[in-house]
Chains A and B, each alone.
Chain A
């Protein structure tokens, strides 16, 4: 138990924990931050895969991470809930109340933008959004999100007086549609890697309709001054074209985010150490597997300590059984990702909420098998135990529990295997483990990465089965083993 504890405690401050939002640009910028800090002599813990804005911000505010890259527009609208554009100084004045701070912008603006096919752009000289006014025949295919947002189509059309009637389509299909000339104009993020690759033209927001989403470093005010100074190197260092190109490298060439960030920093002369070191994949997998096992086993041990005695109580006082089994049954029906999300407001992010969620999931199989195992002990033997003079406690201890043990062990085994699977989702709330590979693999559509998480966790599940097979072989008399398959 003690061995498992340290990673739940917050890390020391001489290690800086860097977070990341899970999309290519988020990872690349976070790697830049991490590499700069490492180059300046800090040790860095990469707490990537924090999911979206809500989780990352929560993590920063609760000191689960020390710094991550964020966008000014997001900070204004989603975190501070301000509608109007705020300058860096204004943002910082408000963030100070939260003991947080942002750096000066990196130099690019990842905002909503409209894209047009380059041939059309040249042919009709359409370079600005206001140019669209005079080309009512253009087909606009816009994402559902853009059609709904406050800074989306409706207000944009009003603002620029645009005559077109857009059609709605899934954002993932928009690039395909524009390449096949099914649509002429679509919405996108201004740093999308596809823009350069597909030779699309970004229409200039000439009347400044869109809010600015300038990338900045977002950190707690207690971040060491030397670290803040290192991060200043990013200010004004990344242009819109740079970011598009870096995103394209990740998207189309599947270059490792760390490598992309490293090459860029070297090229710009921002770091001194020019030898690229990769974290050995095998080591990374081993480390995450270890965290995964810690999560699973810690939750499992807690579940056993609670569910087995509780099962015995329920069996003794059967009127309790329905209530308790219903409650644990309900817990089981909550989708794992929802249960994990529910933990965030209460317990923040990291290992603790994940362990608690896994603990709750492991309760039912163990509890149910304990009760069922005890109930299904041959009634003749229960009677005999009473008849020969065993007290209720001795009867439970010497007869009922040992006879129910194979079933209880089966429940623990089920819980262990379920937990190994569910623990992959714990990565969504920053608990680490093999889920980190899977979550980032899914976010980046990178199958190799998904497999790096999926295969070890499958192996872990098989290993767990084998271990329990072994325990059963050792602890249960051979002739009673057929009872254990539940």
Chain B
């Protein structure tokens, strides 16, 4: 593995949560501009791994490097602007409408109204939400619609890294397929490093270039798309 192609390096990450070992000796090098799926049952430590990459959680042991730089926890704010994050609980701000939620980071970076509007429109198209939704408040949206707004918010600044925690959980099949397609299209033209945490093996196969399978706090298996297809056959048939 060439060093320059690594976006995120995880080395010997071990973390306990209330005495419970959630991650144990995780070492992985996540490649730049690739989609990596992290598979595993719920409670297997997948989300904690994203928290650690995002700097929300400092691991008990081990080190993380992002674009070859060790994380400086005092300068997390600016680093996080490089890392889009779609959280599992969606977490839209209830006092802001869809437009405000999506463009929040643009606003704190003082982007122009036109630039914001153009970007918001582009993102809504990608997740297949109609423009009038911009003025709606989160509570007026279905769970799936909220998730899509959450994806737009994470992608607003066009971050080189995108963390997605069960991002398509409450979407219907049709919408899912559409967003998969759009995501893969964007990935071809403007590639970025995407980490998707999911328990859906088919989703992982459709989207990812590589995968990590975490079970019992450890990496049980890893590989590319072909490896994953084989593994799925071996397990589920």
Specify the main secondary structure of chain A where it touches its partner: helix
> Once the chains bind, are A479 and B154 in contact (CB under 8 Å)?
no
Interface positions, chain A 380-404, Cβ under 8 Å from B, are 380-381, 383-391, 394, 398-399, 402-403
> Once the chains bind, are B139 and A387 in contact (CB under 8 Å)?
no
> Once the chains bind, are B154 and A388 in contact (CB under 8 Å)?
yes
B69-113 interface code vs A (CB 8 A; 1 in, 0 out): 000000001111101110101010111000000001100100000
Closest A residue to B108 by beta carbon equals A394
Q: Is B56 interfacial (CB-CB < 8 Å)? A: yes
Question: How many A residues touch the partner, as a band?
Answer: 20 to 34
CA distance A30 to B85 in the complex (A): 76
Q: Is A98 interfacial (CB-CB < 8 Å)? A: no
Q: Is B15 interfacial (CB-CB < 8 Å)? A: no
Contact flag A479-B87 (CB < 8 Å), given A388-B154, A389-B105, A402-B95: no
Q: Is B36 interfacial (CB-CB < 8 Å)? A: no
Chain B residues within an 8 Å CB radius of A383: 56, 87, 91
Chain A residues within an 8 Å CB radius of B54: 387
Q: Is A463 interfacial (CB-CB < 8 Å)? A: no
Chain A residues within an 8 Å CB radius of B93: 381, 384-385, 399, 403
CA distance A402 to B94 in the complex (A): 10
Q: Is A179 interfacial (CB-CB < 8 Å)? A: no
Closest A residue to B159 by beta carbon equals A389
Closest A residue to B54 by beta carbon equals A387
Chain A residues within an 8 Å CB radius of B94: 381, 403, 477, 479-480
> Once the chains bind, are B104 and A479 in contact (CB under 8 Å)?
no
Interface positions, chain A 385-442, Cβ under 8 Å from B, are 385-391, 394, 398-399, 402-403, 405
CA distance A110 to B93 in the complex (A): 73
Interface positions, chain A 289-339, Cβ under 8 Å from B, are none
CA distance A403 to B137 in the complex (A): 14
Q: Chain A nearest CB: distance from B223 CB in Å?
A: 29
Q: Chain B nearest CB: distance from A226 CB in Å?
A: 66
Chain A residues within an 8 Å CB radius of B104: 388, 390, 398
B interface, CB within 8 angstroms of A: 54, 56, 77-81, 83-85, 87, 89, 91, 93-95, 104-105, 108, 137, 139, 153-154
6 CB-based A-B contacts, threshold 8 Å: A381-B91, A384-B91, A386-B80, A387-B80, A389-B80, A405-B95
A interface, CB within 8 angstroms of B: 380-381, 383-391, 394, 398-399, 402-403, 405, 477, 479-480
Instruction: Rank and list the top 3 A-B pairs by shortest CB-CB distance, nearest first.
Output: A389-B80, A384-B91, A389-B81
